[in-house]
């Protein structure tokens, strides 16, 4: 073993010390949770209501199949949100005086739809528009629930795109224009690729949020995972199905969150080089 100089010995001592402290504190917290929580007077009741193994086993398969409904809604909503929000961002970014109405529309759209809770959009659009007397299948809650999600989320995501577009330095488009690219070609080949790549971590956050908010569609009819858990909760007078639903959500959202973090870290490294 090579002989360490005084500085290295000192660093090693500090590292050891912090390792000991962090393990001791982790152990203390875990021991505290494991020992103290069950000592609470209501623990048996809470355990029965929320962490009931029998109920979990009985309800989990159907919760899992109901989650497929959530995934489907997510998979067709996400591309629609991407396209619509990009269009809104571009509308807000126009510079020509003649296109002022478009700019105004973009601003109004983001202001209004960002200001209304998504759950209210789901209710108002999901029950309101079919109430106008649309024939089936055009009054399906899946269609109008999706419309509500897409409208609400595009307002947010459009702002992410707009911020991305504005973060691309003006010299980039000036250079592209001086090379003879048209305005739209500059946007398409020079600005947008950089803008979108820069905003991918922020977009991932919306992917995670959308994954969870899909459950809001349960309020207007579809039996997705939240509704299925809600039915079991009522019939069994037990909240464990909600815990089961939370576990299923986490199995999907944690990997996505980790991936978003990884992308963020990579971007930071690239920028600091």
Partner 1 sequence: MKSVNPWGAVSLLSAVLMLGPVSAFGACADGNTLHDGRLTIATGNPAYAPWVMDDDPASGNGFEAAVAYAVADAMGFDAGAVDWVRTSFDEAIQPGEKNFDFNLQQYSINADREKVVDFSAPYYTTAVAVVVKEGSEAQNVEPTGSALRKLRFGAAAGTTSQTFLSSVVMPEQDLLLYDDNANVIAAISANQIDALVFDLPSALFATAVQIDGGKIVGQFPVEASIEPDNFGLLMAEGSALKACVDEAITALKESGKLAEIESQWLGDGAGVPLIDLEK
Nearest Cα to Cα of residue 271 among 189, 186, 201: 201
106 is an interface residue for partner 1 by CB under 8 A: no
45 is an interface residue for partner 1 by CB under 8 A: yes
66 is an interface residue for partner 1 by CB under 8 A: no
Site for partner 1 in 116-135 (CB under 8 A): 127, 130-131, 133-135
What is the smallest separation between the CB atom of 214 and partner 1, expressed in angstroms? Answer: 16
What is the smallest separation between the CB atom of 38 and partner 1, expressed in angstroms? Answer: 14
Q: Tell me the three state secondary structure of residue 78.
A: helix
**What's the rounded Cα separation, in Å, for the pair 176 and 36?**
65
Q: Which of 48, 167, 172, 182 binds partner 1 (CB under 8 A)?
A: 48
CB-count exposure of residue 214 (10 Å: 0-12, 13-18, 19+): buried
Sketch the per residue contact string, 223 through 262, with partner 1: x for CB under 8 A, - otherwise. Answer: x---x--xx-xxxxxxx-----------------------
**What's the rounded Cα separation, in Å, for the pair 208 and 197?**
18
From 3-11, 40-48, 199-207, 243-251, span contacting partner 1 (CB under 8 A): 40-48
CA–CA distances in Å: residue 269 to residues 198, 265, 273: 13, 6, 6
Alpha-helical segments (H) within the chain? 6-36, 43-50, 53-93, 100-115, 118-128, 141-167, 170-178, 183-186, 192-213, 225-236, 240-272
Q: Which of 220, 225, 243, 245 binds partner 1 (CB under 8 A)?
A: 220
- CB 160, CB 203: distance < 8 Å: yes
Q: Pick between residue 143 and residue 256 the one whose CB is nearest to partner 1.
A: 143
Q: Pick between residue 32 and residue 128 the one whose CB is nearest to partner 1.
A: 128
Sketch the per residue contact string, 167 through 186, with partner 1: x for CB under 8 A, - otherwise. Answer: --------------------
What is the smallest separation between the CB atom of 238 and partner 1, expressed in angstroms? Answer: 7
**What's the rounded Cα separation, in Å, for the pair 69 and 142?**
10
139 is an interface residue for partner 1 by CB under 8 A: yes
Q: Pick between residue 112 and residue 119 the one whose CB is nearest to partner 1.
A: 119
Q: Tell me the three state secondary structure of residue 123.
A: helix
> Which stretches of the chain bind partner 1, using CB under 8 A?
42, 45-46, 48-50, 127, 130-131, 133-136, 139-141, 218-223, 227, 230-231, 233-239
């Amino acid at each position: 073993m090579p002989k360490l100089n005084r500085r290295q010995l000192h660093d090693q001592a500090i590292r050891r010390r912090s390792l000991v402290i962090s393990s001791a504190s982790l152990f203390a917290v875990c021991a505290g949770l494991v020992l103290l929580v069950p000592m609470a007077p209501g623990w048996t009741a809470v355990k029965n209501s929320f962490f009931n193994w029998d109920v979990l086993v009985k309800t989990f398969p159907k919760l899992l199949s109901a989650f497929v409904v959530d995934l489907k809604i997510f998979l067709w909503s996400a591309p629609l949100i991407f396209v619509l929000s990009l269009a809104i961002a571009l509308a807000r970014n126009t510079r020509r005086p003649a296109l002022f109405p478009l700019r105004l529309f973009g601003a109004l759209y983001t202001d209004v739809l960002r200001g209304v809770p998504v759950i209210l959009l789901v209710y108002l659009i999901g029950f309101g528009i079919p109430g106008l007397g649309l024939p089936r299948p055009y009054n399906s809650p899946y269609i109008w629930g999706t419309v509500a999600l897409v409208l609400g989320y595009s307002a947010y995501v459009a702002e992410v795109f707009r911020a991305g577009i504005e973060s691309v330095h003006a010299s980039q488009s000036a250079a592209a224009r001086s090379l003879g690219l048209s305005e739209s070609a500059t946007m398409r080949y020079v600005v947008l690729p950089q803008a979108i790549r820069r905003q991918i971590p922020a977009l991932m956050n919306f992917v995670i949020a959308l994954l969870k908010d899909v459950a809001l569609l349960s309020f207007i009819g579809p039996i997705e995972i939240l509704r299925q858990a809600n039915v079991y909760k009522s019939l069994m007078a037990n909240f464990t199905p909600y815990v089961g639903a939370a576990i299923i959500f986490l199995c999907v959202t944690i990997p996505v969150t980790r991936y978003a973090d990884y992308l963020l870290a990579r971007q930071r490294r690239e920028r600091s080089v």
